[in-house]
Structure 1
Amino acid sequence: MPTGPALPSTPEPLRLGAFADPVLVDPGPRLLRAVVAGYREAAPALVEPSVADLSGGAGDTGADDPDPSEIPTLKVLAGESAVDDATAGFRSASRLAALVDADAVELRVLDAPQPNPVLAGEETGFALIGSERAGAAAEPGGWYPVGDDASLRERYGSRFAEAEPYGLRTPSRRRVYEGIAARCDESVAAAVLRALDVTDGAGDTGDDAGDTVDSAGDTPGGSGDASADGPDPEAARVRAYAVGAREGVLDRTLRRACEDAGLGSPSTFTRIKRLLRAADLIETVAEPQPVGRPRERLAPRGALAAAETPEETVAAVRDVTE
């Protein structure tokens, strides 16, 4: 797969499709981000589908994307702290979640740090030395492969088989869209994604936010730069529920939709509802039913009612916390 996902390295990019059953061991946050970026470059509509991609039809990964069966699967054995750092916000975490959902990445927990990251296939394997340690031989922000040891695959393959799967707390964009669209409608799902795309930095929602790499190979602001990565899980829940209130969705329907979308349980969104009511940003309107208790329809108040854009919606709920 000549145009498949690759890692930046010297003397040339390491294309994952060139390895048979590859395993990546102990990637730091920067290397893990580079893996996701490589897949995103090869299959953008799979890793980070736009609203247009998603509204074009469920399961459509984009006309220009490779067939999912052609995308190489990478086994990743990573430390929990590295994964947490690399998935600090919704945008970065949802990209990795999309790869896990598509079986392009199998993510498991490494029990102990290794001397260096390792990338190994059935026929070859080597350590990956970051450019800051490899000297002038490697380009800034890349990695330098060291060694050629086919036994690495067997050694780490057995450890991978015994390791526990890593449970990502953040869903993919596709799951968010489809979960909310099924319970509410596509316009609500699209509005939720647009709110989740708003960054807290310069106020832009550009597709490249958070992907710039500086001369040291790190993203500006460090791995915890949630302004570029998108909202943290709590802020993402607040944004999603606020959008549902802006759209006048039934309270119970919205809580179930957010559960289907993988954003949290109905009880979690009962708490989010309480927070937004305490901030005087939402209210409920009772709708009598022929039989049974009235249903509660959400309605925005104050700054949330006045918000007309995703950025204004996010600004209205930015300070909503416990």
Structure 2
Amino acid sequence: MTLLGSPTAAASYRTLLSDIDSSSNIFVGGLREQSTEAFINALDMFDDPPAVRFLTNGSVLKWMRRDFHVASLAADLTASDTLVLRDTEDDIENTLLVTDDSAIPLIAGDGQTVTPETDSEYVEAIQQHCSNAWEKHTEFNLRTPPRSRVYETLAEQLSDDMQSDYQTMLEEIGSTRSGRGETQDGDNLLNEVGLALLSGARQTELLYDLSNWGDRISLASRATFSRLKSKLEEHDFLETEKVPIEVGRPRQRLLLAERLHKFDADELPYAVRDELENSSD
């Protein structure tokens, strides 16, 4: 019996996946937003997960892409050939997980259970249907770097402390989706770029080095880093000082606002969020 759609959906998916051989190739179709996030989190918990073909409505995957926290996990799974994402504009009537020898309806809703279908003729028919649907669509572009690559390159190209701060903030905040750190003008200061800038300010990094790193790994363009740095300055969360160089314009060193020095990395995003919320009252 499989319980899905509850507040512990990721744990439920993990239990479901743990019963599937890691050498299997499975098909998952039709999950909506929260269920997709829970499934990605569950799949990431395994050292040796099964290979997954994942098909759902394009709006769901675009929703996921707006949250770096879950999109970067999905990108890790894609890079390791564990997960392939394809999108469709069609509504998928039946939400299913199909293995080599079973078809499992996935029903959202607290306390609802389903039993896997194992009749061989039925399963073969479902497998063929899913394969036909899969072949009609192309791979979805996450446009998000794998999280492991983000952490690795950040430590290599800036510093271990910078990487540690960024990882701590990202994991603490949980989601970088809009609405959790927005200004009155709608700028999200606690997205993946804003957190990188705050981490950089804690470690007094150069904006030039940080933005070049972000641009190289396709986290965001240098222009995006510069624009969000200005927004953080406008709200007095950070400031910059000029650092002369031998040739060309001075670089800008990122500095955290003095009142924020007392906060550890795991506390800083909440301090910023609280100030933003208070300023909007």
Give 1:197's match in structure 2, choosing from 171, 181, 185.
171
Whether the aligned pair in 1 keeps the contact of 2:190 and 2:269 (CA below 8 Å) is no
Whether the aligned pair in 1 keeps the contact of 2:104 and 2:114 (CA below 8 Å) is no
**Structure 2 residue 36 is the aligned partner of structure 1 residue 32:** yes
Which residue is 2:52 aligned to?
A: 74
> Alpha-carbon deviation of 1:34?
4.4
Whether the aligned pair in 1 keeps the contact of 2:189 and 2:195 (CA below 8 Å) is no
Give 2:251's match in structure 1, choosing from 291, 295, 302.
295
TM-score (norm 1): 0.66
Which residue is 2:149 aligned to?
A: 175
Which residue is 1:310 aligned to?
A: 265
> Alpha-carbon deviation of 1:188?
0.6
1:264-315 deviations in whole A, cap 9, x for unaligned?
11111111111012122322222222333322222222433x2430243213
Aligned-residue Cα RMSD (Å) equals: 3.4
**Do the aligned partners of residues 172 and 18 (structure 1) sit closer, same or farther apart at CA in structure 2, a change above 3 Å counting?**
closer
Alignment of 1:267-278 (within 5 A): 267-278=223-234
| Equivalent-residue separation in structure 1 for 2:252 and 2:267 (angstroms) | 25
| Equivalent-residue separation in structure 2 for 1:159 and 1:312 (angstroms) | 46
Aligned residues: 254
Whether the aligned pair in 1 keeps the contact of 2:58 and 2:88 (CA below 8 Å) is yes
Which residue is 1:239 aligned to?
A: 195
> Alpha-carbon deviation of 1:18?
7.0
**Do the aligned partners of residues 238 and 38 (structure 1) sit closer, same or farther apart at CA in structure 2, a change above 3 Å counting?**
closer
Flag structure 1 segments of 5+ consecutive residues without an equivalent. 1-5, 44-65, 133-138, 200-208, 211-223
> Alpha-carbon deviation of 1:113?
1.5
Which deviates the most, 247-256 or 145-154? 145-154
**Structure 2 residue 187 is the aligned partner of structure 1 residue 188:** no
**Do the aligned partners of residues 95 and 290 (structure 1) sit closer, same or farther apart at CA in structure 2, a change above 3 Å counting?**
closer
**Do the aligned partners of residues 179 and 317 (structure 1) sit closer, same or farther apart at CA in structure 2, a change above 3 Å counting?**
farther
TM-score (norm 2): 0.74
**Do the aligned partners of residues 296 and 235 (structure 1) sit closer, same or farther apart at CA in structure 2, a change above 3 Å counting?**
same
Whether the aligned pair in 1 keeps the contact of 2:56 and 2:92 (CA below 8 Å) is no
Give 1:154's match in structure 2, choosing from 120, 123, 128.
128
Whether the aligned pair in 2 keeps the contact of 1:183 and 1:256 (CA below 8 Å) is no
1:198-218 deviations in whole A, cap 9, x for unaligned?
23xxxxxxxxx79xxxxxxxx
| Equivalent-residue separation in structure 1 for 2:270 and 2:36 (angstroms) | 31
Which deviates the most, 244-253 or 174-183? 174-183
Which residue is 2:3 aligned to?
A: none
Whether the aligned pair in 1 keeps the contact of 2:26 and 2:52 (CA below 8 Å) is yes
| Equivalent-residue separation in structure 1 for 2:243 and 2:64 (angstroms) | 44
**Do the aligned partners of residues 23 and 249 (structure 1) sit closer, same or farther apart at CA in structure 2, a change above 3 Å counting?**
same
Which residue is 2:111 aligned to?
A: 140
Flag structure 2 segments of 5+ consecutive residues without an equivalent. 1-9, 181-187
Whether the aligned pair in 2 keeps the contact of 1:89 and 1:233 (CA below 8 Å) is no
Q: Please state whether the residue corresponding to 1:174 is helix, strand or coil.
A: helix
> Alpha-carbon deviation of 1:7?
8.6
> Alpha-carbon deviation of 1:194?
0.7
> Alpha-carbon deviation of 1:116?
1.0
| Equivalent-residue separation in structure 2 for 1:131 and 1:180 (angstroms) | 39
